[in-house]
Structure 1
Amino acid sequence: MSGTPAVIDQLVHARLLLTTHRSAPLRVTLRYRADDPLALRMLFPAEYTLDGDEDPWNAGPEPDPAPTGTEIEWVFARHLLAAGLDLPAGLGDVHVRPAAGGWTMVELRSAEGTALLRFESAALSRFLWRSYVVVPEGQELRGLDPDRELAELLG
């Protein structure tokens, strides 16, 4: 695995489904880190936070890409995304399911509300394949130091 990056970032386009007839474009960065091999991250531009006073959905066809604060990050299991490409998967805050026409739906739930996002399945599959090049499926626990991980958790 020498020469492979320790972090994989992939920008993907999604649609945030607002109603049955209304959606908004969204740029999402998918991130995989070899030092956290069981997880993947979805990073959303700061303008999509529910904490701000501005409504990015009324700002025009696509929000300004300039950062205005801290990115929103969702972290969940890599195997959840892989499973959800084929069959509905997920418990708790993150659910992933295939949809007709080559799409995958990702539902993110929080105390503030629920977001339903539509991604091209092919883009998610490419990202997973790239992550498997760095850490092959089934090899995620190899190379982890449980004592170091526990020390980091306990601070």
Structure 2
Amino acid sequence: MSPVIDQAVQAQLIASSPRPRPIPAHLRYAPADPFAVHIAFPPAASLDGAAVEWAFARDLLAGGLLSPSGGGDVRVWPCGPDRTVLEFHAPEGVAMIQIGTEELRDFLARSYALVPVGGETGFLDLDGGVEALLRQI
């Protein structure tokens, strides 16, 4: 079994209230899904009281530390020298959070130690994916 990076981070939910609301979150990276990072929020952070998890490209997170990145459901951009904004779009609405840029850099560095940039395809289980598709036919 390959190692998985699971890192707790303190996020700030940007809301219409005057001050951001702190919420816990967990970043996760697994070599079995080498192109993606996952971020999970507890039930207390959502409007419907359910836990929420988003998956998006590791490259998107890395790019968003330097300049605005993304154009779909997830967008990431730097907010000053110390914070990074992650914006999530869903049918129910938009959520924006801020996370410390150093926490994100540390998380990415740990992920690159497991799977270097450009080495992701070596971790894909292509045979298993084809078998799973064939079973669905």
Q: Mark yes or no: TM-score above 0.5.
A: yes
Cα-Cα RMSD: 1.8
Q: Structure 1: any 5+ residue segments left out of the alignment? A: 53-69
Q: Structure 2: any 5+ residue segments left out of the alignment? A: none
Question: 2:3 aligned to 6, 24, 27, which one?
Answer: 6
Matching of residue 96 in structure 1 with residue 93 in structure 2:
no
Structure that is richer in helix per residue: 2
Aligned residues: 135
Counterpart AA for 1:148: G
Counterpart position of 1:15: 12
C-alpha contact 1:29 1:43 (8 A) present in aligned 2: yes
Return closer, same or farther for 1:24/1:131 CA change in 2, 3 Å cut-off: same
Question: 2:52 aligned to 53, 60, 72, which one?
Answer: 72
Distance in structure 1 (CA, Å) of the matches to 2:114 and 2:129: 20
Question: 2:108 aligned to 104, 128, 131, which one?
Answer: 128
TM-score by structure 2 length?
0.90
C-alpha contact 1:6 1:35 (8 A) present in aligned 2: no
Matching of residue 110 in structure 1 with residue 107 in structure 2:
no
SS in 2 for 1:147: helix
TM-score by structure 1 length?
0.80
Matching of residue 146 in structure 1 with residue 119 in structure 2:
no
Which runs of structure 2 are paired with 1:80-91 in the superposition (5 Å)? 80-91=60-71
Return closer, same or farther for 1:78/1:153 CA change in 2, 3 Å cut-off: farther
Return closer, same or farther for 1:100/1:20 CA change in 2, 3 Å cut-off: farther
